[in-house]
Structure 1
Amino acid sequence: MTAALSQMDLPAPRSDSDELAAFCKAAGDPLRLEILRVLHHNAYGVLELSQIFDTGQSGMSHHLKILAKSGLVATRREGNSIFYRRAPAPEDPTRQELQRALFAKIDRLALSTSIQQRIQSVNRERTEASRNFFQQNAERFRVNQDLIASFDQYGEPVTEFLDATPGSRRRVLEVGPGEGGFLPALALRFHEVVALDSSAEMLSRSRQLVDEQQLNNVQLVHGDTAWALEQELRADCITLNMVLHHTPDPAQIFADLAQLLSPGGTMLVTELCHHDQSWARESCGDLWLGFDPEDLSEWAAAAGLSAGESLFLAQRNGFQIQLRQFFKPLTTAGNSR
């Protein structure tokens, strides 16, 4: 009798019609559709979304709860913060078709100028937080970085990865050279090396190494990918070592670099896999606790790049590094975000 009562107390399983109704309810609100549009390529916390849409936190939380219950958004914890992003396609074929059709339609909608400006404002705040960290901690950069993964630990595999990558050796662009550990290897392999960094403090540390080793084919540039686009800079190869987890909008970095990359060119990315060691945010200035390999693949595909080889390196301290290779087709139809 007790067992029978316990079974009666259990909530009834959701039927297909219940799930479809929840899906339609979630998609039946203009604000929720705009939230899904904003979450296309980046993840945001509830306070950031409240700022972007100029609405109260409680109201935003309510909309996110409905979207999460319907399976349209997923959450991911980054330290003490929870970020929302679009959920991956479900396994059920019917739901999968509906979700993909909805997202495809949403992505054709234009965001208002005010929303775009507030997105830029949120991303600027993230960028400023990262710059402030490096400005205040440039002297401790190597010590802090060694807590996660020093260049000495992954530099040789990255160099071997580069040597196995086909393509022109005329110009290479390294984004975020840090203390310049990879610059000597690049200088030996390319006719021209451009090192781009938005942190003047870190760029000065790279300059010390360049001067000491007399790397005469290395040009150090203070700027970001937006500046490089304005200058119409082009490169046959682009490298990023442990950069994406410091950037406010990794998907936009992929989009920018895809434009900077010459047709037939290669982008090599060394990045942390997703982890749960939240101390890295305060100790190392990380905005993100690494990324799933699928994240990088999705951003690359959206930017018109095709994935090549992958290599994963386990570190003794529990971190895992992913080395990824992406190619730009010789001819492109022109992808936009």
Structure 2
Amino acid sequence: MRVTLDSLIDTLKAAAESSRLRILSLLSRGDLTVSDLTDILGQSQPRVSRHLKLLLEAGLIDRYQEGSWAFFRVSDTNIARDFVQGLVSRVDDRDPQIERDLERLSGVKRRRQDRAAEYFSRNAASWDEIRSLHVADRAVEQALVKLVGKRPFQAMLDLGTGTGRLLEIFAPLYRRGVGIDLSREMLTVARANLDKAGVSHAQVRQGDIFSPPVERDAFDLVTMHQVLHFLDEPGQAIREAARLLRPAGRLVIVDFAPHALEFLREEHAHVRLGFSDHQIGDWFAEAGLDLEDTQDFEPRGASEAKLTVKLWLGRDRRLLIADPVPTSTSEARETV
């Protein structure tokens, strides 16, 4: 993509200041709040907010609200991301100022991980009870990796991202990843996990999966892992997810087969007790998707008190008419 001379000059002016370049360097490594940035930069909130305002006006960064917190990130647009990455990749991390910023950034990320660990400790017993009923997560993850394949793609969206695990698993394949979750506590967990895994090209945001804060027709892969059984209208959620796919994009759903474990409804807020292939197939068809694959994962010693995990793959019926998909991760990152 090309821009006008005046637009490029305005963009360069916005970035050509030491504090703003430091901010871009930090945001290229993950989303941060104003408080995070004031702690790292050692500057007052009004001054940091002024720098952020100028970067926002130049289209280099975006702002999004998460409850009472405002987060900032590098802009989602390809041209802005490429511009920012081109700038910060040329800054030596051993520069004394940048080195101090990165040390303080590590402190911010450690505090996130501490909050995540606290949340996990409060809920571990509940999650372990459900995990004991079905096949190990590792087996499902391996099947997902095999199903999606090794070919890089541009963009992934994980609806109901939870711990951010799927964004971590597929990080080597996508150029841009986004996770959506309604729970601020789970977003804290996801950010901590992505930070720990060194995944800087994925973001997580607070939002409702029935009205996700992302653009439509923009994602090559959309995932919904153990989400549908919490919803009153899973068919509507699938239709909304399908609208977010690019032509020929894929929707992958992981959930449970039909079961009769009523205590999950009463004690763990499950609204639906599993789904059949027929139900998912009908919802896919209504959303303009073809059901391409289904897989079953039965636990050992299967009984009525166990859960079978299901995997469904749907593909957008529209033909993809565009440039070929990059054949390597490095090429994917260079493609606009």
Which interval holds the TM-score relative to the shorter structure?
Answer: 0.5 to 0.7
Partner SS for 1:290: coil
Is 1:262 paired with 2:223? no
2:275 is aligned, of 272, 281, 291, to 291
Counterparts in 2 of 1:222 and 1:136: CA distance versus 1, 3 Å: farther
* Equivalent-residue separation in structure 1 for 2:239 and 2:285 (angstroms): 10
Counterparts in 2 of 1:231 and 1:163: CA distance versus 1, 3 Å: closer
Is 1:214 paired with 2:198? yes
TM-score after normalising by structure 1: 0.53
The code of the aligned residue for 1:222 comes to Q
CA contact (8 A) 2:211 2:240 kept: no
CA contact (8 A) 1:173 1:195 kept: yes
Unaligned runs of 5+ in 1: 1-133, 333-337
Unaligned runs of 5+ in 2: 1-118, 321-336
The 5-angstrom pairing of residues 184-333 of structure 1 reads: 184-228=168-212, 231-232=215-216, 234-316=218-300, 318-330=306-318
Counterparts in 2 of 1:189 and 1:140: CA distance versus 1, 3 Å: farther
The code of the aligned residue for 2:201 comes to N
Counterparts in 2 of 1:229 and 1:205: CA distance versus 1, 3 Å: closer
The code of the aligned residue for 2:224 comes to L
CA contact (8 A) 1:240 1:268 kept: yes
Counterparts in 2 of 1:331 and 1:229: CA distance versus 1, 3 Å: farther
* Equivalent-residue separation in structure 2 for 1:172 and 1:328 (angstroms): 14
TM-score after normalising by structure 2: 0.53
Q: Which residue of 2 aligns with 1:158?
A: 144
Q: Which residue of 2 aligns with 1:146?
A: 131
Structure number, greater radius of gyration: 1
Counterparts in 2 of 1:175 and 1:148: CA distance versus 1, 3 Å: farther
Q: Which residue of 2 aligns with 1:128?
A: none
Partner SS for 2:250: strand
Counterparts in 2 of 1:240 and 1:220: CA distance versus 1, 3 Å: same
CA contact (8 A) 2:222 2:250 kept: yes
* Equivalent-residue separation in structure 1 for 2:126 and 2:154 (angstroms): 31
Q: What is the CA deviation profile of residues 42-95 of structure 1, one whole-angstrom value per residue up to 9, with x for unaligned ones?
A: xxxxxxxxxxxxxxxxxxxxxxxxxxxxxxxxxxxxxxxxxxxxxxxxxxxxxx
- Percent sequence identity is 21
Task: Give the number of aligned pairs.
Answer: 197
Counterparts in 2 of 1:328 and 1:231: CA distance versus 1, 3 Å: closer
Counterparts in 2 of 1:241 and 1:226: CA distance versus 1, 3 Å: closer
Return 137-146 or 190-199, whichever deviates more.
137-146
CA contact (8 A) 1:135 1:199 kept: no
